[in-house]
Amino acid sequence: MGLQNSSINIAGFAKPVFFAALAILAVSTGALTYQFSRYDIQTLHGERYRWQALEGKWVIVNYFAQWCAPCLRELPELNSLNQSLPEDVVLLGINFDPMTETQARAMAEKHNISFDVIIADNQTSMPMTTPQYLPATYIINPKGQVAIKLAGEQTEAGLLETLNKLKLQTL
């Protein structure tokens, strides 16, 4: 009879422990699912990035707008730069004004943008604050930190020179 009472107690004890373990498992699974589905930026090419995944690369981020004449003048330079970038560099553009994906796609096609353009939405997370003036270009180092902010219109040659100087400084 003592054995039966202890097995009843064990069964009575096991049920709450089982449900507590199940709850912990469910919360952990939910947290992991959220963590893996979360992204910092999404591009028009359908790429979703977390900044941690870009660590080890240099990232050039250019803020522009359709109403900004210097921005439009520098787009061909950025397109050309995109074709000549080394493997360890990524070029991303982001429109200053909020746009839907459809609007951003139409704008990229209208201006023949060949580099990845970020679709800014409520999940977009950038390692810098939104600039007050355009165009603005940021170069982010392989550790994910803003190495330099460049204000005004940029050229392919100027950006490559700046990038090479920054790379030399980190050696």
Residue (of 153, 169, 154, 167) closest to 59 by Cα position: 167
CATH label of the domain that carries residue 139: 3.40.30.10
Residue (of 78, 73, 99, 100) closest to 89 by Cα position: 78
Same domain, 73 and 123: yes
Same domain, 64 and 147: yes
The shares of helix, strand and coil residues in the chain, as percent rounded to the nearest 5, are 45, 20, 35
Same domain, 7 and 70: no
Same domain, 83 and 150: yes
25-29, 63-67, 114-118, 129-133, range with the lowest pLDDT: 25-29
Top pLDDT among 140 and 171 is at: 140
User: What pLDDT does 19 receive?
Assistant: 61
Mean of per-residue pLDDT scores for the chain: 84
Same domain, 46 and 28: no
The residue range of the domain holding 80 is 42-169
Same domain, 53 and 115: yes
User: What pLDDT does 23 receive?
Assistant: 56
Q: Hey, CA dihedral for 84, 97, 44, 102, is it positive or negative?
A: negative
Which tens digit of pLDDT belongs to each residue from 26-48?
555 443 333 445 688 888 988 88
Same domain, 24 and 108: no
User: What pLDDT does 34 receive?
Assistant: 39
Burial of 12 (0-12, 13-18, 19+ CB in 10 A): exposed
Same domain, 67 and 130: yes
User: What pLDDT does 11 receive?
Assistant: 58
Kindly state the DSSP code that residue 43 receives in the 8-state scheme: B
**112 CB contacts (<8 Å, ≥6 apart)?**
75, 79
Residue 98 to residues 2, 75, 103: CA-CA distances in angstroms?
72, 19, 9
Domains contained in the chain, number: 2
Same domain, 25 and 47: no
What's the pTM? 0.76
Same domain, 73 and 150: yes
